[in-house]
A = this chain, B = another copy of it.
């Protein structure tokens, strides 16, 4: 059997069994192990399978690999920030939580709150909060961004416009010295702007590393933020900007 006939069958077997072994395929096709290895390597390169020692498996959980790695990044700091932020939010109020790993950490800390109405455009946050039956969870519509489970686009802003929140917890991709909140995705910027416009109190959560990063799209100015929770001390320039604009700063 030639290669062109082997590969589809390998995939078929993998789909049925969930996995394939080099030995098993050697028996099945009657060819040398090296040949099977070549097949598997090529199938893995083209994304059809995932290579493992001894064989290959279906690429199942690989979806948000980049994301889950990023989530690990600075996780301790994020949880500390989240705890401080959650402590500023009372029971029995309405809260918006937007996209971001730090915001997700806030969701985790909010699990012990009671009587919240939480609206979110982050599918992971919806999953997290569904554990607490005393929290009503509303999900905005939107296009699903696979990289991080965010819902963005016009549908998201449409939904948000129908609410007025007591609190909004937002994050951003980068922070500039002059107090501008920046983001990578222009579609997300529209969502964030709408959130700010429809919230009484705006909380920004961002760890210190955000000051070292650059992003192209401007969401808002720190002046529109009521509370900024972070982990590392602000630069003098940024601290004085917050002072002037009346933005309260808390350190985790």
B-facing mask of A118-158, CB < 8 A → 1, else 0?
A: 00000100111111010011111111101001010001001
Q: Is A54 an interface residue (CB 8 A)?
A: yes
Are B143 and A142 in contact (CB-based, < 8 A)?
A: no
Q: A138-B155, A143-B137 are in contact. Are A60 and B123 (CB under 8 A)?
A: no
A209, CB-defined interface residue at 8 Å? no
- Asked whether A144 lies within 8 Å of B138 as measured between CB atoms, the reply is yes
- Identify the A interface with B (CB < 8 A): 2-5, 8-9, 12, 18-19, 21, 48, 50-55, 57-58, 60-61, 63-64, 123, 126-131, 133, 136-144, 146, 149, 151, 155, 158-159, 162
- Is B53's CB under 8 angstroms from A3's CB? yes
Given the known interface contacts A12-B18, A136-B143, A139-B151, the answer about A3 and B128 at a Cβ–Cβ threshold of 8 Å is: no
Residues in B with CB closer than 8 Å to A4 are 52-54
Residues of B within 8 A of A21 (CB): 5
The answer on a CB contact under 8 Å between B155 and A130 is no
Which residues from B are CB-within-8-Å of A142? 138-139, 141
Cα–Cα distance between A48 and B132 once the two chains are bound (Å): 11
Complex-state Cα separation, A8 to B136, whole angstroms: 26
Report how many copies the assembly holds: 2
Whole-angstrom CA separation of A137 from B136 in the bound complex: 24
Distance, CA A130 to CA B133, complexed state (A):
26
A203 CA / B120 CA spacing, docked (Å)? 31
Known: A8-B60, A9-B19. Contact between A137 and B130, CB under 8 A? no
Instruction: Say yes or no: A5 contacts B55, CB within 8 Å.
Output: yes
Question: In the bound complex, what is the Cα–Cα distance between A136 and B153 (angstroms)?
Answer: 13
Is there an interface contact between B144 and A5, defined as CB atoms closer than 8 Å? no
- Closest-CB distance, A25 to chain B (whole angstroms): 13
Taking a contact as CB atoms under 8 Å apart, the answer to whether A141 and B144 are in contact is no
Give, as a whole number of angstroms, the nearest-CB distance from A230 to chain B.
24
* Residue in B58, B60, B130, B158 whose beta carbon sits within 8 Å of that of A146 in the complex: B130
A5 CB to nearest chain B CB (Å):
5
8 residue pairs bridging A and B, Cβ less than 8 Å apart: A8-B58, A9-B19, A60-B131, A123-B139, A126-B144, A139-B142, A155-B162, A159-B159
